[in-house]
Structure 1
Amino acid sequence: MTEKKFWKECFSWLFVLATGIAFAFIIKQYVFSPIIVNGASMFPTYEDKDVIIVSKISEIERFDHVVFKAPYEDEYYIKRVIGLPGDTIEMKDDVLIINGKEYEEPYVNRTSELNLRVTEDFTLEELTGEKTVPEGSLFVLGDNRLKSFDSRHFGLIPIDDVYGESKIRIFPLQNIKVFYHPYE
């Protein structure tokens, strides 16, 4: 191989490598990204240290799992979207009621270590002072209701703070799962 061909080959490989890195950066920045779940607030849907892929281009719907900027900390939370703009929300006798319709929540863990069922009744207005979820906001709850710091505590979250929607759990490998709507 001549010296000219050698440098041409090196440049070719460098170009391919740089293009691949740029493409990966753009995809991670604007389309999807891996996130590590921290804590037990979404148990049994997710466990601490699960690795998920978050879509940054999804349209958020009720019961989606969203990752968002934590209200009071420099980290991200993952919770389930319960209320969309315009929704009324209440919990009565362990039943979720959205816009007057009762919903079963088979994904929720409501049991403590002592096997006690402990849930609190609430309305959106009692928690936030709002009768309906305002435009540009979401009401979110963790699936592990007894151990979740969520909209019952910090109120509504701005839709602009949503990082993305969880689509796939990729780790641990024996628990790989694609999440689809409305219930898993």
Structure 2
Amino acid sequence: MAVLVGVGLIIACRLWLLAPVIVASDSMDPALKRGGLALLLKPDPGIDRAGPGSLVVFPHPDDGSPTVKRVVAIGGQSVAIEDSVLVVDGQSVDEPFVDSSLIDGTWFGPVAVPPGHVFVMGDNRGVSIDSRHFGSIPVEDLEATVLLPQN
């Protein structure tokens, strides 16, 4: 009986709580490398767990495929890129995981993030298709957060 309960808990955990995924693109490099394994926490992340810096999963607005990006701003904030530097609410943001030399001379925004939305960007800004292209993401569209990148 204990074995059945254990197997049931493992299956339930896999279905509703945690999921391993293989990273399919370079857009989150170096945090998540193509071919690496990431562990997702599947319960609705909501705005409380999807703050700036969080890695979130949502369906891509174009084709619905699962997409992982980093939240850089939340509803009510403004976001811009000024000569490759992320600027939120007029303040530059330190992002040691972004290689700014790859996007030197890049400018974007500022744009306002609507309430109930998050603005997401890939860490590999030169190749990432993100909120700069498809706009902010409604919080209710977030499906999971990334717990453990394993590269």
TM-score bracket for the superposition, by shorter chain length: 0.7 to 0.9
Amino acid at match of 1:67: V
SS at match of 1:146: coil
Root-mean-square deviation (CA), in Å? Answer: 1.9
1:109 corresponds in structure 2 to: 99
Are residues 20 and 124 of structure 1, via their aligned partners in 2, closer, same or farther at CA, if it must alter by over 3 Å?
farther
Q: Are positions 1:81 and 2:71 aligned together?
A: yes
Give the share of equivalent positions with the same residue, in percent: 30
Corresponding residue to 1:135 among 112, 115, 118: 115
Structure 1 gap ranges (5+)? 1-14, 126-131, 176-184
Whole-angstrom distance in 1 between the partners of 2:123 and 2:3: 42
- Tell me the TM-score normalized by structure 2: 0.86
**Structure 1 runs, 4 residues or longer, greater than 3 Å off:** 15-18
Greater helix content: 1
Q: Are positions 1:155 and 2:130 aligned together?
A: no
1:19-50 per-position Cα deviation (integer Å, ceiling 9, x unaligned): 23321232223322112111100111111111
Size of the aligned set, in residue pairs, is 147
CA drift at 1:86: 0.9
Greater strand content: 2
SS at match of 1:61: coil
1:35 corresponds in structure 2 to: 21
CA drift at 1:100: 1.7
Contact map agreement 1:90 1:123 (CA 8 A) in 2: yes
Structure 2 gap ranges (5+)? none
Corresponding residue to 1:166 among 119, 138, 146: 146
